[in-house]
Amino acid sequence: MRNIIVASTSTVHGSGYLKYIIDELASFFKDTEEILFIPYARPGGITHDEYTNVARKAFEKIGKTIHGVHEFENPVETIKNAKGIFTGGGNTFLLVSQLYKHEVMQPLREAILDGTNYLGTSAGSNICGLSMQTTNDMPIIYPPSFKTLGVIPFNINPHYLDPIEGNTHMGETRETRIKEFHKFNTLPVVGIREGSWIRVKGDKAILEGKHTARIFEHDKKPYELSTGSEIIFS
């Protein structure tokens, strides 16, 4: 049974790393003392060790031990044996490239579908969808495929931003970009705002956290989904 948290971000404005969701994570990972961290997205270009230490300090507060997947010789077996997995944010293109390079995309998918507790934030949430094509990230490296884990039946747009009334910025809004995506693709897209997450348990996906989500379906007008609601597409 799938047991997943798909979070928009690891850090909300003015808060520490994972602080806004740490109580939820204490409950989510209550049955495991050790969590495998996948640091491949490397935000700001930090090293795998530096990134793992950031996650380690956060999880120490709830009595959990973090190990980076890069610390093991066989990442495939390490993922298969993990009791809990966390993939952090950063650059989705880099993350997906590394998952394919180390041949762990399929083993990670299988582990999640087999019931291993999985937490994703930002880029780590992007990869839960059917493709990474609704990421906000710059393509700093070219992955062999845009296909990702597909453990949820829709795509994610984390850090979703609403247009600011009166703003003179002439670039595309998030909504415009997702509409462009839907000119060539039919996959539903869920825009998750900062401080919110999707809790997937079995076949149900429930929006949780402070904010509504913006839902985009092909050839339909976007709409808001209230927190506490199940994500269901018509």
Tell me the catalytic residues. Answer: 122, 137, 159
Structure tokens at 122: 């930002």
Q: How far apart are CA 17 and CA 11, in angstroms?
A: 5
The one-letter code for the residue type at 19 is: K
DSSP 14: T
Phi, psi of 121 (to 5 degrees): -125, 135
Rounded to a whole number, what is the distance in angstroms from the first to the last CA of the chain?
A: 23
Q: How far apart are CA 41 and CA 193, in angstroms?
A: 20
The β-bridge relationship of strands 223-225 and 213-216 is antiparallel
